[in-house]
Copies of this chain bind each other. A is one copy, B any other.
Amino acid sequence: MKKIRVAVFGAAGYAGEELLRILLRHPQAEITAVTSRKNAGEPVANVFPRYTGLDLNFVMPDVAAVSPQCDAAILALPHGLAAEYAKPLLEAGIRVFDISADFRLRSTAKYQEYYKTEHPAPELLKEAVYGLPELYREQLRNARLVACAGCYPTSSILPTVPLLRAGAVKKEGIVICSCSGVTGAGRKVDLPYIFPECNESLKAYGVVGHRHLPEIEQEFAVAAGVPEVAINFIPHLAPFNRGINSTILYDAAPGLTLERIGEIYAEAYGKEQFIRILPAKRTCDTKYVFMTNCCEIGYNLDPHTNKVIVTSAIDNLTKGAAGQAVQCMNIAFGIEEAAGLI
């Protein structure tokens, strides 16, 4: 069988590195180009020494040069830039899987509000499919443009949507407390991210108006069947490399029981190979999803405040970025959804 030929744009960061790890052992895909403006011309091993000996060089992100050799492009580029590349790639008939935020928000106004710039390609938004396979699998089949879900949103939306759809929790007053490992900030060379600043440190940041907030609210609103919801999303930076833990609190609907929550999750995700529902009352641990494409979900019900308390864990670089992009790609091309991911 002919393999999917994949170009990775912006391959020199952590999501790019994870894409390499996954795609190099993907049985039905092959990497035909990896781009890096900064490292063009260099072998991949210059940036990722574990790939010493791999016959693959970074090239410039030149769509005309890259597109004849690829069927799919995965964009691990900064927002804004991603949309610029998506346009000519789509025109060249390449399917695009964008890990940036450019096509996640259906509202260009929200994009402008949170990203402080006009949307670079609003005409493409209606075609973009939100890349969260467990919720949008049918739309992803044959999709040409996929806006892969963000890392924090994946960890929040997957556990929440079934509860909202079932009316098990109220759509008002949802609070999400998330803790992310430092790769979540990207391969960014900046004082707050050097080792002695992060190690032995834990802090909240972006507690009002984080860029992932509108993405989360958008999908919560869809699940609740309303135009808008307003929630609180509080991210924290914690001293480890990979992983996001999200703890989410909801007001329970009247009469909700722990058993019912278990049933709702079993119905929603019982057949999902990348979602693991823990037994009632257990909590997640990021180490159990480390370097996997799995989202782990635990649930509890606090009788004294009548809150549903859900915890979720993902690996931000796998299910939160590269793994999810490959999962979406597999679906779009009609091959085994888990190919390369186990």
Contacts and interface: CB of A to CB of B under 8 A. Distances in A.
A17 to B, nearest CB: 10
Contact of A232 (B203, B234, B309): B309
Interface in A193-244: 193-205, 207-209, 230-232, 234, 236, 238-243
Nearest to A301: B208
Interface stretch (A55-63, A99-107, A280-288): A280-288
Contacts of A200: 181, 200, 240-243, 286-287, 290
A50 B234 contact: no
Contacts of A173: 173, 305
A193 to B, nearest CB: 5
A294 interface: yes
A339 B116 CA distance: 50
A112 interface: no
Contact of A207 (B189, B201, B283, B313): B283
Count of this chain's copies in the oligomeric assembly? 4
A232 B302 contact: yes
A311 B201 contact: no
Contacts of A240: 199-202, 239
Given A302-B208, A305-B231, A243 B202 contact: yes
A49 B288 contact: yes
Contacts of A287: 197, 200-201
A2 interface: no
A170 to B, nearest CB: 12
Nearest to A176: B177
A247 B307 contact: no
A314 to B, nearest CB: 12
Given A202-B286, A239-B239, 10 more contacts: A49-B296, A50-B294, A181-B202, A199-B199, A200-B287, A201-B287, A202-B240, A202-B243, A207-B247, A208-B301
Closest A-B pairs by Cβ, 3 of them: A177-B177, A201-B287, A203-B285
